[in-house]
Structure 1
Amino acid sequence: MRIRAFQLADYKSVTELLEVALSEECCEETMGAFARQLSWDSELILVAEREGAIVGAMIGTIDQNKGYLYRVAVHPDNRRQGVGRALVAAMNQRFRQRNVFKILIAGDKHNELLLPFYQSFGELLIDFVKLSKPLAIMAV
């Protein structure tokens, strides 16, 4: 498995992954954040690739020297195989490269379902924080 930065050629594969991996409501909300993050900094959108296919994606963002893990999506056929963990580790590395050491989980109802997953990282992730407004409309 290879973790790398999103490329425009990945757009169709990533949107199809989001549709399969997320609920309809979550996917709709995530698409707005995905588009917004692409316009800000596409280096904080990561994809997990296995045998030439995109099997996972993660959207992160940085706001006021804080790194936010906004959404992780893994294809149902590839869950519980370390894809999500690899994406989180790679995003944390991206944050550190940019001198961002306060890492937060964007607290929305969709990420609340993943709280046990995020808690499994121990002290690696600091806080689960409710955003004052959705990432899709946050200003840089």
Structure 2
Amino acid sequence: MTDLRIRAAGPDDLDGVLAFWKTAAEGTSISDDRDGVERLVARDPDALILAERDGELVGTVIAGFDGWRCHLYRLAVRPDQRRQGIASALLAAAEERFVRLGGRRGDAMVLVRNERGQRAWRAAGYAPEERWRRWVKHLTP
């Protein structure tokens, strides 16, 4: 996947990311607005990770770390680019970030009705933790 570029989002990317999520992400969130994403990038400039191919946005993941826990949000891949390793590349970048920061376990909230998302998380090595309705994976440095 040499033509795939993985990088952190900057302020100039935010409108494009919000538009991307409307077509590539399953559902929307209360924080899917310019102010919310600006706060994220201002607080943690490396948290919003983008995948680009030929200069176009094809995937995103938010890799948030609060100093104790690692949280994954908004893993999304453009529908016509799915099943090409983009989500795997994004998750690898997120997990590398977590390990660098000292994180030991990543978790992701996945909508119960999002069967495609559940399959993707399982394929990435995450397992459902029914007690909390999240998917978790222990990370090793």
TM-score bin (small chain):
0.7 to 0.9
1:5 touches 1:42 (CA, 8 Å); kept in 2?
A: yes
What TM-score do you get using the length of structure 2 for normalisation? Answer: 0.76
Alignment partner, residue 31 of structure 1 = 32
Shift of 1:115: 1.6
1:104 touches 1:127 (CA, 8 Å); kept in 2?
A: no
| Percentage identity across paired residues of the two chains | 29
Corresponding letter in the other structure for 2:28 = C
Q: Following superposition, which runs of at least 4 residues in structure 1 exceed 6 angstroms of deviation?
A: none
Aligned runs of 1:6-45 on 2, under 5 Å? 6-23=9-26, 26-29=27-30, 31=32, 34-45=37-48
1:71 touches 1:111 (CA, 8 Å); kept in 2?
A: no
Alignment partner, residue 137 of structure 2 = none
Aligned runs of 1:1-140 on 2, under 5 Å? 1-23=4-26, 26-29=27-30, 31=32, 34-109=37-112, 114-122=117-125, 125=126, 128=129, 129-130=132-133
What TM-score do you get using the length of structure 1 for normalisation? Answer: 0.77
Gaps of 5+ in 1: 132-140
More helix by share: 1
Give CA-to-partner distance per residue, 1:77-123, whole Å, 9 cap, x none.
1111111111111000011110111111124447665121111123x
Aligned counterparts of 1:42 and 1:85: Cα–Cα separation in 2: 21
Taking only aligned residues, the RMSD between alpha carbons, in angstroms, comes to: 2.4
Gaps of 5+ in 2: 135-141
